[in-house]
Amino acid sequence: MLQIRKIKPEDIGFVTEIASENGCTVGKLLSNIENFLICEDGNVKCGCGCLTMKKDKGYMSWVIVSKDHRRKQLGGAITKALLNIADLNGIDEVYAVGILGDFLMAMGFEKQSSRVVMDDIKEVLGDFNVTEYRRVFLKGYFKPCSKK
């Protein structure tokens, strides 16, 4: 059974391992893990993702799925869970960096590049050594359930 849940102390090793396997550095992200999610398939940890909020903006990164579990829409499930957290906290827009651009575009993000926003991203998430990011507006992102 698929489960997406908040990180626990015993998950830190998994996060560090999957990050290093995918060329990410742990850096600043684990210092603020309030909205760090772990994806499990059965009892097997298979992915993670992080959302950091500052003022009225959300910053998402580290949506990573282990190689053995890719192509199962787990990255989309993690991303939607993070966006749901942002939406429930009144965040109107979320910026993403360090995640595959094509994947984010399919999730409704648009490519952006602003030095001011990149400076904010570096402050919140750390330096990803990139010059562009993706942004999504959450107003209308989650469609209401139809009443039948």
Query: In 3-state terms, the chain is what percent helix, strand and coil (to 5)?
Result: 35, 30, 35
**What is this structure's pTM?**
0.88
Residue range 52-107, pLDDT digits in tens: 998 889 999 888 898 888 888 899 999 999 999 999 999 999 999 877 788 999 99
Q: What is the pLDDT of residue 31?
A: 62
Q: Which helix (H) or strand (E) is 36 found in, with range?
A: strand 36-41
Is 144 inside a domain boundary? Answer: no
**DSSP assignment, residue 142?**
S
Angle, CA 17 vertex, CA 96 and CA 80 arms, to 5°: 35
Is 19 inside a domain boundary? Answer: yes
Domains in the chain: how many in total? Answer: 1
Domain around 130: 2-137
What CATH number should be reported for the domain holding residue 45? 3.40.630.30
